[in-house]
Structure 1
Amino acid sequence: MATTRKQHSEQSAPGPVAAFARFVGCGGGVGVASSFAVAGLASWIPWALANALVTAVSTLLATELHARFTFGAGRHATWRQHVQSAGSAAAAYAVTCLAMVVLQQLVATPGAVLEQVVYLSASALTGIARFAVLRLVVFARSRTQATAPAPAVRPVRAAAPAGPAELCPAA
């Protein structure tokens, strides 16, 4: 029986190293693009608002990429997965905001390069935590369901009563 591309991608969930490499590629790419988007938007609106908007959009995009490619589901993310992913993104947002507030307290007028280094460093640290949450919680059911073989259905037979020799075999 031939398998379709969708069935094949659902059945072959990547191991932790491959999933992490895909996570870095997808999430890291979205993260780098997000850092430039935040910097650009922050010239027109307050930085915290720019970060919130970019975080919301990038979380939706990254969750879709992770559902399709990173964790081997091969299909769209569910609403439940988007909501759970948003929770981990909210924590990442708080950490990046805190990192930028600390930077502002330590350096009176940081340059754009220093701001990018701090922002991307905070994003990388929260990214590692997000990988664990996404792999172990958000996409865990999808991965388990996709890789677990379907249970075999067998007819139930009545077992014959055990005889004395079967209960106490002779030595």
Structure 2
Amino acid sequence: MEAIPRQQQSAAPAAFTAFARFVLCGGGVGIAAGFAVAALASWIPWVLANALITVVSTLLATELHARFTFGTGGRATWRQHGQSAGSAAAAYVVTCVAMFALPHMVEAPGAVLEQAVYLSASALAGVARFAVLRLVVFARNRSVAAVTARPAHAVVAARDLVPADAAELCRAA
């Protein structure tokens, strides 16, 4: 009998665990990116620094999410990087729309209100992004990991579940 090689992939973490990891990884990368933009902006224009750091931080966060947050056990694919970038762009649009709409809804919003609106929009976009990453971007890898992580002896054929004389039992009934 030929042995089937097992891949060392972990099972997908529960939703709460994955969300906590998402916040930790994404938040950590976000904080580091904020400092990096400020440092880089002292050498190059802020818009260019922000664009550069956004690309790098999105790539880094996607790798962390693939390896740690969603338990795929490997590197992110180019497809996953593209989808993750798309979800990050959508989250960026949500925060921009919220900040653009604020002065149209409140005549003179103060700094505290602006920060509250920005953080609320970011939180809403973050929850939506988590759902997209978990259910779409990394979903395929989770199902593959669940199948490939099974030991060969755990796969049971349907014929092994039915007694050989099941037909006889059915006819007798």
TM-score, normalised by the number of residues in structure 2: 0.69
Indicate yes or no: 2:33 matched with 1:28.
no
Q: Which amino acid aligns with 2:76?
A: A
The letter for the 1-side match of 2:85 is A
Number of residue pairs aligned between Structure 1 and Structure 2: 159
Contact 2:10–2:73 at 8 Å: present in 1 too? no
Normalised by the length of structure 1, the TM-score is: 0.70
Matches within 5 A, 1:37-116: 41=41, 44-45=45-46, 52-105=51-104, 106=106, 111=111, 115-116=114-115
Which segments of 5 or more consecutive residues in structure 2 lack a partner in the other structure? 1-5
Alpha-carbon distance in 1 for matches of 2:124, 2:59: 20
Q: Deviations over 1:75-98 (max 9, x none)?
A: 211101101111111110101111
2:172 partner amino acid: P
Amino acid at match of 1:169: A
Q: Which of 165, 168, 171 is 2:171 aligned to?
A: 168
Alignment match, 1:141: 140
- 8 A Cα contact 2:37 2:46, kept in partner: no
What is the RMSD of the two structures over their aligned residues, measured on CA atoms?
3.9
For 1:77 and 1:96, the matched residues in 2 are separated by 26
Percent identity of paired positions between Structure 1 and Structure 2: 64
Deviation at 1:13, TM superposition (A): 2.4
1:39-63: CA deviation from partner (whole Å, max 9, x where unpaired): 775xx545xx766554333221211
Structure 1 gap segments, 5+ residues each: none
Aligned CA distance change for structure 1 residues 162 and 131 (closer, same or farther; 3 Å) = closer
Counterpart CA distance in 1 for 2:115 and 2:38 is 8
Q: Specify the alignment match of 1:13 in structure 2.
A: 12
